[in-house]
Amino acid sequence: MDYQKQIESFVCWHCHGRTDETAMFCNHCGSVQNVRAADHFARLGLERRLDVNVTDLDDRFNKLRKPLDPNFFMIRSTTERNFAARQLIALVEAYETLRDPVQRGRYWLKLHQQDFVAAKNDHPVVQKMRAEFDNVADDTAQLDMLAQRTNALLQNGVMKLLTSLRQQNWEEANQALVELDGMEDILSQTRARRQGMTKVDPDTEWSC
């Protein structure tokens, strides 16, 4: 459903004029509004779709956050400063959730009233990679190779997750998230172990 169809009217706390559900500022008096309940897509003015245009998302976020700069509210009332801070927090949360495909997938499940169920045991693929991590020698080259393989599995897992969600195969999507959580944990531990052995050049550090 298009986010515009979900918008309802609310009353501005300052001038009592009518405002939209997702309006950050009153279009009558210009006062910043308190955060209202809205999904992340609506908050960023996006249609509720699983596949997100990241460039468009970045542009919308940067445009929306500029008027919420704390410096603009230094001489405003305490109420407006607090409201602006809450709006910015909600905006950042929405942006970070939708920009990361794993977080977006988890959020998509929530929007469809599907609860994520954590597994009691690791998936066999995760178990295999965890065993490799436990047995790998304290050698930077071996750790780098392990990180590369784990990262490749992560990328494949993201594609599997998004495909499952598009097909509304909730059980498979949940399983993909379980695997991704395990892989992210292994990659995090590998990175920490690698950095503990030697200082890593920021230009060559692994990325998910």
Residues 7, 42 contacting (CB under 8 angstroms):
yes
Give per-residue pLDDT as tens, 21-33: 889 999 999 999 9
* Long-range contact set of residues 167-172: C-beta below 8 Å, sequence gap at least 24: 168/112, 170/109, 170/112, 170/114
What is the per-residue pLDDT for 204? 52
Model-wide pTM > 0.95: no
Supply 78's token pair: 């305490």
CB 70 within 8 A of CB 81: yes
**Is 60 exceeded by the pLDDT of residue 1?**
no
Q: How confident is the model at residue 201 (pLDDT cuts 50, 70, 90)?
A: low
Kind and range of the H or E element at 18?
strand 18-20
The pLDDT value given to residue 208: 46
Q: Given a cut of 70, is residue 199 above it in pLDDT?
A: no
For 85-135, how does the pLDDT look when each residue is reduced to its tens digit (9 = 90+)? 999 999 999 999 999 999 999 999 999 998 887 776 777 888 888 888 888
The pLDDT value recorded for residue 132 is 86
pLDDT band at 198 (very low <50, low <70, confident <90, very high): low
List, for residues 49-83, the tens digit of each pLDDT value.
999 999 999 999 999 999 999 899 988 999 999 99
Q: Which domains does the chain have, with CATH numbers?
A: 3-99 (1.10.287.110), 124-197 (1.20.1280.20)
pLDDT computed for residue 118 by the predictor: 75
What pLDDT score does 96 carry? 98
* Amino acid 51: pLDDT: 96
Helix and strand totals (H; E) in the chain: 7, 2
